[in-house]
A and B are shown apart, each in its own frame.
Chain A
Amino acid sequence: MIGVLLGTLVGVLPGLGPAATIALLLPVTFTMSPETALIMIAGIYYGAQYGGSTTSILVNIPGEASSVVTCLDGYQMARRGRAGPALGISAFGSFIGGTLSVVGLMLLGPVLARFALKFGPPEYFALMLLGIVILTFLSKGSMVKSFISAVIGLFVGTIGIDTLYGAQRFTYGSLTLMDGVGLVPVAMGLFGISEVLINIEQREVRDIFKSKIKGLLPTRQDWRESTGPVLRGSIVGFFLGILPGGGAIMASFTSYAMEKRISRHPESFGKGAIAGVAGPETANNAATGGAMIPLLSLGIPSNVIMALLIGAMMIHGIKPSCFLINEHPRIFWGVITSMYVGNILLLVLNLPLIGLWVRLLKVPYGILFPLILLFCLIGVYTVSNNSYEVLIMLIFGAVGYVMRKAGFEPAPLLFAMVIGPIMETALRQSLLHSRGQFNIFFNRPISAVLIVAAILLLLAPLFPRVGRKRETIVKEAPDDT
């Protein structure tokens, strides 16, 4: 419950997306038991997603990338005085999408875990490569730059002691670095510190909704128009969420495009069509259930948020893998339960509290940002009571700032840093097994399919039509994926 509240609180604030929110609140979970911590993190994630939709509708600032589409019609609805139904349908749609996807997870998770046993090192390597490629494809800006960002992340993941040979790599004698570069300092630096540094450049005026928000409940007409989008959004979201790299963003865009295409009044989209809010909002929450599948059955994160979840699990001593269901059933089912509970709480807590969130947006940035910085500094110190972690965070804060100014996205770096060690081990094991032959990746069917998909996606922007489509998708996306 606290997780949902905190998540919405921070998610409502423009500029801090779910990734930054989770990174900031991670240290708070250290003192808890693993199950509680994961439940709280799941709560934070939902809360942050919902908070992102609230700002999209009320202030036309998407809280995170998957809420961009909500801005299109949601804000228009608000301008016509229909902010209430927009927020209401967003909440209900998110609830239904989230719940249905949890059901899907519950049914498919164990099945996929068994399937996952067929995954050997080549399949793991291929899947993670595909994940990186999808993430770079969907990141803002040039794919080359996003790929560079990912490669830097993979390199950062190699710092420390090599797991196969025990050699020290790039540690320069530092005890802190021998353990590897920590997830928390990097996440907080890249998303927290650098975000604040970027924001202090601007003194923007926020166009906050002055009028009272009345009538939160959608009308019967609204429900009629939304039922189809909600159901379709759930299915689309769930299955797209499973794909590594894309998840919620792809889900919300696909849902919007689909609804526009099958609507009887496509011209109303962009001017306040409720289907344009219902579908995408449902889809992006449904994607969270789908995104959990690779995490809980294979131990592979499908996006940055899941990468942070893996980090949190490892901090609590749990190694996510296909054996998670058997070795830590309490964790697996605990996370599932938390998702149900989280969804319900989201609905129950947030609707009455909308007025509060809007008032929160009025806190001046000049007060808010120093507090965020303080929070980051304390949070990262408490990871291991080591002030050098603070230095690492600051370094990555500077790196993140420079990267964003130069047009490089930070999300691929963090994602790659988390999966880097797994990817490297998979690659080296595959080569050991095949005695140096690269065709092991193509001889095995699953791995071959994944690698071919990755190569196709890498080459896709070279085709003008695909390149243009990609530009449209990523153009409006805000900074944090």
Chain B
Amino acid sequence: MDRISGIVVFLLGATILWQGRHLTTGSLRSPGPGFFPSLLAGVMIILALFLIVPGKKKEGARESSLFPYIGRVSIVFIALLVYFFFLESLGFIVVSFFLMAFLFIVMASQKWHLALFQSFIFVGLAYVLFEILLKSQLPRGVMGF
């Protein structure tokens, strides 16, 4: 796991160097906009090597495998991404209603009718609090609400 993290960080550092190649690094006398990012990328690459090259295993180091729960977590995350994609087009009320119902079913294992009801209550309360009381101007969809 550490080695994989190290490789990811290494690649991140390399990507930053590559993507920032058009920025002027300048010189030590007159550091340009690319100076600090390049410096950071360099430090990142060096630190990544500490992870990639195996050292002594630290006792009690926190490591957990990603895989056992990745399904559940991914479903929730994808639901949130879908929320983002439809937020402006369908509006706050509609998207939040469906998201909350979905989450209540997945996370609280509720029956769909209870989930829909609770979603209705909570989204309604949130709307009153943020849109009406705090005047937050939440997104309205193409339907106007």
Residue positions of A touching B, CB distance < 8 A: 27-28, 31, 140-142, 144-145, 147-148, 151-152, 154-155, 158, 162, 164-165, 167, 169-170, 193, 196-197, 200-201, 364-367, 369-371, 373-375, 377-378, 381-382, 385, 387, 390-391, 394, 397-398, 401-402, 405-408, 424, 427-428, 431-432, 435-438, 471, 475
The verdict on A366 contacting B109 (CB below 8 Å), with A155-B16, A378-B126, A382-B130 known, is yes
B64: chain A residues at CB < 8 Å are 405
Residue of B nearest to A375 (CB): B126
A169 is contacted by which of B33, B58, B100 (Cβ under 8 Å)? B33
Chain A residues positioned under 8 Å from B116 (CB to CB): none
Contacts of A170 in B (CB 8 A): 16, 19-20, 37
Closest to B101 in A: A370
- Chain B residues close to A by CB (< 8 Å): 1-2, 4-5, 9, 12, 16, 19-20, 23-24, 27-37, 40-41, 43-44, 47-48, 50-51, 58-64, 66, 68-69, 72-73, 76-77, 80-81, 83-84, 87-88, 92, 96, 99-100, 103-104, 107-110, 118, 122-123, 126, 130, 134-139
* Set of chain B residues within 8 Å of A373, measured between Cβ atoms: 80, 99, 103
Interfacial chain B residues near A394, Cβ < 8 Å: 77, 80-81, 84
The complex places the Cα of A261 from the Cα of B31 at a distance, in Å, of 51
In the complex, A207→B86 CA distance in Å? 40
A165 to B33, CA, bound (A): 7
Other A-B contacts than A170-B16, A374-B126, A378-B130, 18 sampled, CB-CB below 8 A, are: A28-B134, A145-B5, A148-B47, A148-B51, A158-B37, A167-B33, A193-B80, A366-B107, A370-B103, A371-B122, A378-B138, A382-B130, A382-B138, A385-B137, A390-B87, A408-B5, A427-B31, A436-B28
A196, A397, A428: the one contacting B35 at CB < 8 Å is A428
DSSP majority for the B interface?
helix
Which chain B residues border A406 with CB–CB below 8 Å?
1-2, 4-5, 63
Q: Whole-angstrom distance between the alpha carbons of A370 and B121 in the complex?
A: 13
* A475 vs B60: C-alpha distance when bound (angstroms): 8
Q: Say whether, besides A378-B126, A382-B136, A370 and B100 are in contact (CB < 8 Å).
A: yes
CA of A366 to CA of B16 in the docked complex: distance in angstroms? 40
Docked-complex contact A155 and B37, CB < 8 angstroms: yes
The answer on a CB contact under 8 Å between B77 and A398 is yes
- The docked-state distance in angstroms from the alpha carbon of A144 to that of B52 is 12
Pull 21 A–B residue pairs with CB atoms less than 8 Å apart, ordered by A: A141-B61, A144-B50, A145-B5, A147-B47, A151-B40, A200-B72, A201-B73, A370-B104, A371-B122, A375-B126, A381-B136, A385-B139, A390-B83, A390-B87, A391-B84, A407-B2, A424-B36, A428-B31, A436-B28, A436-B30, A475-B60
CB distance from A407 to the nearest CB of B (A): 5
